[in-house]
Amino acid sequence: MGNPLFDRLFGRHIGKTSTFLILPDGSRLSHGRFLKLAARYAHALAELGLKAGDRVALQVEKSPNALAVYAACAQSGLVFLPLNTAYTAHEVDYFVSNSGAGLLIGDPEKAGNLSDVASRYGAKFLTMDESGNGSLAAKAAGKPEEFETVERTEDDLAAILYTSGTTGRSKGAMLSQRNLLSNAEVLCSEWRFDENDVLLHALPIFHTHGLFVGTNISLLAGGAMIFLPKLDVDALIKWMPTATTMMGVPTFYTRLLGDARFTKELTKSMRLFVSGSAPLLAETHRRFFDRTGHKILERYGMTETNMNTSNPYDGDRRPGTVGLPLPGVEVKVCDSEGNDLPRGEIGTLEVRGDNVFQGYWQMPEKTREELRENGFFITGDLAQQSEDGYVTIVGRAKDLVISGGFNIYPKEVEEALDTQDGVLESAVIGVPHPDLGEATVGIIVAKPGFTPDLDSIQLNLGNRLARFKQPRKLILIEALPRNTMGKVQKAALRETYKDLFA
């Protein structure tokens, strides 16, 4: 029976001396050495008593070792649960509790709080720093460099990624081996990846873009990745002549365009630039082409589906659109009842295919709300489709904010604001931002007789919310605009403050 995810992404590289990871210091890690490291981790996980189907939560800095934990989970049949490194212990508490994780791996600097979280829910706790050192490494030291792969099927759960909506708690999107493999195979083919490609990888690996798009495609193609810890323009410019491809969020491209060293000559070895996770402004697309001669390929995906559409590799890459449905993915623009709308009309985008997730972890009602019995997933994004099939995302039916590629759930931020001294109520919106795509703005109404200290509120939010969730600006107004039913009119607020960061 085998283990499709491990066998097709990792297993076929066992023993190979070909380069897999190029590290910032110039050192290289071969496919074979990487998989020996993963095997040692797999033995360590097995020694902890973890069995196929158990969940492993990981909140550590990006490193080859962190990536090897993903490989070890795949080989062991464990469910991988990567967590944003910016999450506070308060936020991690929910994810460990909800997932029933058997193991939490965290940064040694956060060990005190995170070990408390793990013990609260009966999970084991191990540490790993950005160099790979910690109690997990100690446990894996001396273990065999081969591990007997646990048998799994394409229908088995491979990962849970937590996503945010506009109401309720974060939802754990259940991704099967088929979900991940089918999408990686399609993208590898559509974007023409092969063993000669070198991907400039500066994305996080707790997010579907950096992990299940960038990494999985590179593994499938047998190519290499220049594995940078984060977005750093100096590092991107340094390594670009060595690379052939790059994937990034719009912020990557706006920051490169802001540097005079980023020239057509610098990009001459590159064959493909991909953008996603947030809307790419048509202006950025045009400026990039004028500067380099390259047309950025924009695509559209979600945590629940990986990638759904893409502008073509060969063909018209249209600024402002997210391209055509990928092979094997059906898309339709619908009214609120799920009925198809004529081409050109705006409605809710729904998608169906092997890429669409299995449902939300322990949330059957939410699954039924968003995943139809016929397999179509209701994305919540408002879109229109041209006569020749190109999809344009025109807005979101939900108030989700996407800033720098990260999803921000306004209600969570509003709840944090509403507890602050002198605050009567608040509304959090996303407005256009030239660097981040969107930025959050907190609109605050004061309690009668109070004048809230906005600087103190901003400081207090730092102890409760991850940095990317914190509003870029707080604004004090007399009253929130409401309709006749008393609902806050966020569309009116977005219109009022749309030029705030222009």
d(CA 77, CA 149) in angstroms, rounded, equals: 8
Q: What length is written for the chain? A: 502
Res. 28: pLDDT tops 80: yes
Domain membership flag for residue 471: yes
pLDDT at 396 over 70: no
Structure tokens at 115: 């070990």
Q: Are 414 and 388 in a shared domain?
A: no
Q: Is residue 187 part of a domain?
A: no
Residue 50 placed within a domain: yes
- Single out the residue in 396, 428, 454 at which a domain terminates: 396
The three-point CA angle 153-21-109 to 5° equals 90
Mean pLDDT of 31-45: 98
> Do residues 95 and 202 share a domain?
no
Q: Which domain holds residue 263?
A: 198-396
Q: Mean of the per-residue pLDDT values for the chain?
A: 94
Query: 308 vs 415, which has greater pLDDT?
Result: 308
pLDDT at 486: 54
Could you tell me the CATH number of the domain that includes residue 41?
Answer: 3.40.50.980
Domain end point (choices 153, 187, 219): 153
**251 and 230 assigned to the same domain:** yes
Final residue before a domain boundary, out of 153, 177, 209: 153
pLDDT digits (tens, 9 = 90+) for 211-270: 999 999 999 999 999 999 999 999 999 999 999 999 998 889 999 999 999 999 999 999
Q: Of the candidates 45, 227, 14, which has an alpha carbon nearest to the alpha carbon of residue 137?
A: 45
Percent of all residues in the chain with a pLDDT value above 90, rounded to a whole number: 83
Whether 234 and 209 share a structural domain = yes
126 & 268 share domain: no
Structure tokens at 134: 């910690």
- What pLDDT digit, counting tens, does each position of 450-473 carry? 999 999 999 999 989 999 999 999
For residues 109 and 229, state if they share a domain. Answer: no
Domain presence at residue 220: yes
- Residues sharing a CB contact under 8 Å with residue 194, sequence separation 6 or more, in sequence order: 221, 222, 223
Cα(494)–Cα(481) distance, integer angstroms: 11
**Secondary structure letter of residue 209 according to DSSP:** I
Residue 192 maps to a domain: no
Claim to verify: residue 216 and residue 114 sit in the same structural domain: no
Predicted local distance difference test score (pLDDT) of residue 484: 47
Q: Smallest Cα–Cα separation from 78: which of 66, 70, 90?
A: 70
The answer as to whether 178 is a domain residue is: no
Give residue-wise pLDDT tens across range 115-164: 999 999 999 999 999 999 999 999 999 999 999 999 999 999 999 999 85
E-strand stretches of 45-197: 55-59, 79-82, 103-106, 124-127, 157-163, 171-176
Dist CA 33 CA 42 (whole Å): 14
pLDDT of residue 164: 58
Residues 446 and 359 in one domain: no
The DSSP bridge partners found for residue 431 are 439
- Smallest CA-to-CA distance from 393 within 302, 467, 473 is with 302
Rounded (10°) angle between helices 111-120 and 89-99: 30
Residue by residue, DSSP assigns 424-480 as EEEEEEEEEETTTEEEEEEEEEEPTT----HHHHHHHHTTTS-GGGS-SEEEEES--
Residue 483 pLDDT: 64
Query: Are 340 and 456 within one domain?
Result: no
pLDDT at 167: 44
- Among the listed residues 334, 306, 370, the one whose alpha carbon sits nearest the alpha carbon of residue 167: 370
Residue 341 predicted with pLDDT over 80? yes
The answer to whether residues 324 and 355 belong to one domain is: yes
pLDDT given at position 166 = 39
Mean pLDDT of 399-416: 84
- Overall average pLDDT of the 28-53 stretch: 98
User: Is residue 306 domain-shared with residue 248, that is, in the same domain?
Assistant: yes
Tell me, yes or no, whether 275 and 390 share the same domain: yes
**What average pLDDT does the segment 488-492 reach?**
85
Could you tell me the pLDDT band of residue 402, with boundaries at 50, 70 and 90?
Answer: confident
pLDDT band, residue 4 (cuts 50/70/90): very high
**Residue 225 sits in a domain of what CATH number?**
3.40.50.12780
The CATH code of the domain that includes 483 is 3.30.300.30
**158: in domain:** no
Domain tally, the chain: 3
**End-to-end CA separation in angstroms for the chain:** 56
Q: Residue 129 falls within a domain, yes or no?
A: yes
121-135, 409-423, 426-440, 482-496, range with the lowest pLDDT: 482-496
